[in-house]
Amino acid sequence: MRYRDTGEYETISNLVSLVDFDENYPLESFDCGIEDYNNFLLHDAKKYIELGISAVQLLIDNESNAVLGYIAMLTDSFYLDSEEKNQLELDVPFNSVPALKVGKLATHKDRNEFHYGCYLLELSLGYAQNLLEEGIACRFLTVDTDIEFREDTPSYYEMYGFVRNLHKNQKRKNVVSMRYDIFS
């Protein structure tokens, strides 16, 4: 992942904490610039957690307790077509493979002194690797990049090593399905 060897993540880790979703943080002051993502944090995150649909973690500034970002994660599997399986040398008799999905990721629009979004992606990679260490199969990080609000969102993830899934059976038109091979 990008910025891994720059020392930035170590700097960030000294300034922030990643905590489980908690309504006692100033959620209403979070603004990523996309109302849908702000509303998810304020109105949907708690419900999704309670229903076992998603886990949500907040990136909190240690000094001010401000919410700098959040990431929602859930388990996933996705389809690889024959061409993709061959490229990855996955000689298995099935097309669905296990993954950890980044369901939503957002950072505060006015707090850009560091690459907080990439830091959150790096932490999600750590979660995927922890699953493997615990004996739970997980080969990929996946994300359905939301292009409804920003058409260039896939290029953001491509900068961090994600590739577009080739399969043609996507049903949602406002997303581009992408993956990151944690074995790479």
For the chain, list the domains and their CATH numbers. 8-181 (3.40.630.30)
Q: Which residues contact 86 (CB under 8 A, 6 or more apart)?
A: none
- Looking at residue 26, its pLDDT comes to 97
pLDDT > 90? residue 165: no
Task: Please tell me the predicted confidence (pLDDT) of residue 83.
Answer: 87
User: Which residue is it, tokens 């708690």?
Assistant: 46
CA distance linking residue 132 with residue 123, whole number of Å: 15
Round to whole Å and give the CA distance between 57 and 62: 15
Dihedral sign computed on CA atoms, order 96, 125, 128, 102:
negative
When mean pLDDT is compared across 5-9, 50-54, 95-99, the lowest value belongs to 5-9
pLDDT bracket for residue 4 (50, 70, 90): confident
* Identity of the residue numbered 125: L
**What is the three-class DSSP state of 44?**
helix
Q: Is the pLDDT of residue 167 over 80?
A: no
Under the banding of pLDDT at 50, 70 and 90, the label for residue 54 is: very high
More confident: 3 or 97: 97
Residue 168, pLDDT score = 57
Q: How confident is the model at residue 82 (pLDDT cuts 50, 70, 90)?
A: confident
Sorting pLDDT into bands at 50, 70 and 90, what band is 171?
Answer: low
Task: Please determine, for residue 81, whether its predicted confidence score (pLDDT) is greater than 60.
Answer: yes
Res 173 pLDDT > 90? no
